[in-house]
């Protein structure tokens, strides 16, 4: 058994301390026959573990900020509400293994980001509806007040997430790498756009629903049975907080032109049909809220996969706003 554990986990880059935690505390009495890194995720490492009896688990290692305790607590809170993986074991502060670890059961399905490119419009609309309904279910979870999670108690803390958009954008421009992608004129236009969005955002200030904050095709698993789509898992809750579901609407539709025909309309229809509320100006609000994420991308390295895409989208937003000006 020891040889099988060592060989398979060594190949996946799992060190001796983590192997010890798995064998003693997380999966005692089980041998790991296969281990491989899973695609997706830019900030953490996910490894698929397969035991000798065919059981499958996902080992999550936190390479940047440690949100292990929050993600474990959310998995318990969301059980029976949203499809999330059951947590088998966790070492939130790394006491036993030397690093924060989360072990969850593997859920079936294929990443929606890999499914969408091959779908016809009708199938894309059906998958969009299921995706929208899943987001509506996320929004049924209410928290004490708006804010950000810091621990397993899931009590939000800090500032109102919808507040100070202009100040946030300004800070990202000053401390990031915006000069690599945007001209000074474009940066000033972006600041003006952020300032002009402030009055509208007052409508969602105080919202205290669960927000995934990275709700998009690369964080969803889906299966199709007898022509019917089902979302089998919502992955990676590391950025979640308490505010308005319109953050997630904006995230899903951020790169709308890359989605197959029918998906976006199905997503909105499914969200509404499952009880999700969209105000009259939801497009304006969701796009304004997404400026938080787009500005944050400008603080990443210019080589980051989304740095250039964010800059391009910002230019498109600015051009569209200019075309609408009197």
DSSP 74-125: HHHHHTTTS--PPEEEEETT-TTTSS-EEEEE----EEHHHHGGG--HHHHH
CATH number of the structural domain 2-105: 3.30.200.20
Mean pLDDT of the chain: 93
Please, where in the chain does CATH 3.30.200.20 lie?
Answer: 2-105
What confidence tens digit (pLDDT) does each residue in 278-307 have? 999 999 999 999 999 999 999 999 998 899
Q: How confident is the model at residue 267 (pLDDT cuts 50, 70, 90)?
A: very high
CB atoms under 10 Å from CB of 34, counted, come to: 16
- What pLDDT is recorded for position 5? 56
Q: Which residue has better confidence, 8 or 166?
A: 166
Question: pLDDT value at position 179?
Answer: 94
Strand partners, 228: 225
- Give pLDDT, residue 1: 41
228 pLDDT above the threshold of 60: yes
**Cα–Cα distance measured from residue 232 to residue 85, given in angstroms and rounded to the nearest whole number:** 9
The CATH number assigned to the domain with range 111-324 reads 3.90.1200.10
Would you state the structure tokens that stand for residue 2, as one six-digit string? Answer: 């020891």
Angstrom distances, CA of residue 114 to CA of 48, 117, 210, 284 = 18, 7, 26, 29
In the 8-state DSSP scheme, what is residue 157?
A: B
Q: Is residue 235 classed exposed, middle or buried when 0-12, 13-18 and 19+ CB atoms within 10 A define those classes?
A: buried
- CATH 3.90.1200.10 in the chain: give the residue spans: 111-324
pLDDT value at residue 15: 86
Report, as an integer, the average pLDDT of 273-278. Answer: 98
Q: Compute the C-alpha angle 182/311/38, nearest 5°.
A: 145
pTM: 0.93
Provide the token pair at 305.
């996969």
pLDDT tens digits, one per residue of 94-151: 999 999 999 999 999 999 999 999 999 889 999 999 999 999 999 999 999 999 999 9
């Amino acid at each position: 058994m020891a040889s099988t554990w060592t060989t398979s986990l060594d190949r996946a880059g799992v060190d001796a301390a983590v192997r010890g935690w798995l064998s003693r505390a997380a999966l005692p009495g089980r041998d790991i026959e296969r281990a491989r890194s899973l695609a997706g995720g830019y900030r953490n490492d996910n490894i698929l573990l397969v035991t000798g009896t065919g059981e499958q688990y996902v080992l999550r290692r936190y390479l940047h900020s440690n949100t292990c305790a929050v993600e474990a607590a959310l998995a318990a809170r969301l059980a029976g509400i949203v499809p999330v993986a059951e947590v088998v074991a966790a070492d939130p502060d790394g006491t036993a293994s030397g690093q924060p670890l989360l072990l969850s059961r593997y859920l079936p399905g294929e990443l929606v980001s890999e499914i969408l490119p091959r779908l016809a419009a009708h199938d894309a609309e059906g998958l969009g509806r299921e995706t929208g309904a899943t987001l509506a279910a996320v929004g049924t979870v209410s928290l004490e007040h708006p804010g950000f999670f810091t621990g397993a108690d899931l009590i939000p803390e800090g500032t109102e997430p919808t507040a100070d958009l202009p100040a946030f954008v300004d800070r990202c421009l000053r401390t990031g790498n915006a000069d690599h992608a945007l001209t000074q004129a474009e940066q000033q236009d972006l600041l003006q756009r952020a300032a002009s969005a402030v009055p509208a955002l007052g409508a969602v200030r105080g919202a205290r629903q669960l927000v995934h904050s990275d709700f998009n095709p690369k964080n969803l698993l889906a299966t199709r049975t007898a022509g019917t789509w089902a979302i089998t898992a919502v992955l990676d809750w590391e950025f979640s907080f308490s505010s308005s579901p319109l953050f997630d609407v904006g995230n899903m539709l951020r790169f709308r032109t890359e989605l197959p025909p029918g998906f976006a309309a199905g997503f909105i229809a499914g969200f509404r049909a499952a009880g999700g509320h969209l105000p009259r100006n939801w497009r304006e609000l969701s796009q304004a809220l997404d400026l938080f994420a787009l500005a944050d991308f400008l603080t990443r390295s210019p080589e980051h996969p989304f740095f250039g895409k964010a800059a391009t989208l910002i230019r498109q937003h600015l051009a569209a706003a200019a075309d609408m000006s009197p």
